[in-house]
């Protein structure tokens, strides 16, 4: 009898896990497409600068509203608002690389290809092995806080006319590694039952992909970039 109940519970948990994973990937695909459209719109508008503090403000507001409404239908609406805002900010970033570097198109394409390859590879690895990466949670959280704080300091410094290119490159490299870890952590959480809300799982994976892409852009530009 106990074995029967255990089997039933195991099957029920597997069903829930598969549903969360399926819904997460569907919503993630839709938000990536919407984000790409938003980026294209801002790129075609030839917007060169977006105030980073306004962007951060909109990001945290939409993230808060998404988290608050994660268990109801409006949560999906706020996910699209969040990803649309972040996608729109990619336009000016792409303009910088495309207009100021002779091989800007190559750098953007390479960063996009690497981002997709890394995400699919890490996701496939976790799906295949079912390995539990929950032990990485504290390290990733601490690392993101540290890297984010350092980014703000460097941003303020650059606005004051002080530039530290080596430190910026180091932070981009750290962010890239942390985002790889976050992809492993979040995918593992879905598969092993630690994350049952596909809205929040989508947000985490989207932010991982977004930050990985922008970090790779900076790293590739540092090594491949050439001025016109």
| d(C-alpha 24, C-alpha 186), whole Å | 11
CB 186 within 8 Å of CB 205: yes
The tens digit of pLDDT for each residue in 144-189 reads 999 989 888 887 887 777 777 888 899 999 999 999 999 999 999 9
Segment-wise mean pLDDT, segments of 10 residues, the chain, 228 residues: 51 74 94 95 81 84 94 93 94 86 88 96 94 92 91 81 82 94 95 88 96 94 70
Angle between helices 137-159 and 165-191 (to 10 degrees): 150
């Amino acid at each position: 009898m106990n074995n029967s109940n255990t089997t039933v519970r195991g099957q029920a948990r597997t069903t829930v896990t598969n549903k969360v994973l399926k819904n997460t990937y569907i919503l993630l695909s839709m938000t990536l497409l919407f984000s790409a459209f938003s980026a294209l719109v801002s790129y075609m508008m030839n917007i060169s600068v977006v105030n980073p503090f306004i962007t951060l403000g909109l990001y945290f507001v939409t993230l808060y509203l998404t988290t608050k409404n994660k268990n109801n239908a409006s949560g999906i609406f706020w996910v699209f608002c969040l990803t649309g805002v972040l996608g729109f900010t990619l336009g000016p970033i792409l303009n910088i690389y495309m207009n100021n570097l002779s091989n800007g198109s190559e750098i953007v394409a390479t960063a996009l290809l690497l981002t997709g390859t890394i995400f699919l590879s890490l996701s496939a690895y976790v799906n295949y092995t079912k390995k539990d990466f929950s032990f990485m949670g504290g390290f990733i959280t601490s690392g993101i806080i540290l890297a984010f704080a350092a980014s703000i300091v460097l941003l303020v410094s650059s606005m004051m006319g002080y530039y530290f290119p080596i430190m910026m490159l180091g932070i981009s490299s750290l962010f890239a590694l942390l985002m790889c870890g976050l992809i492993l952590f979040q995918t593992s959480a879905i598969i092993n039952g630690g994350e049952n809300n596909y809205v929040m799982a989508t947000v985490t994976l989207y932010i991982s992909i977004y930050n990985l892409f922008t970090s790779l852009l900076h790293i590739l530009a540092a090594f491949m970039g050439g001025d016109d």
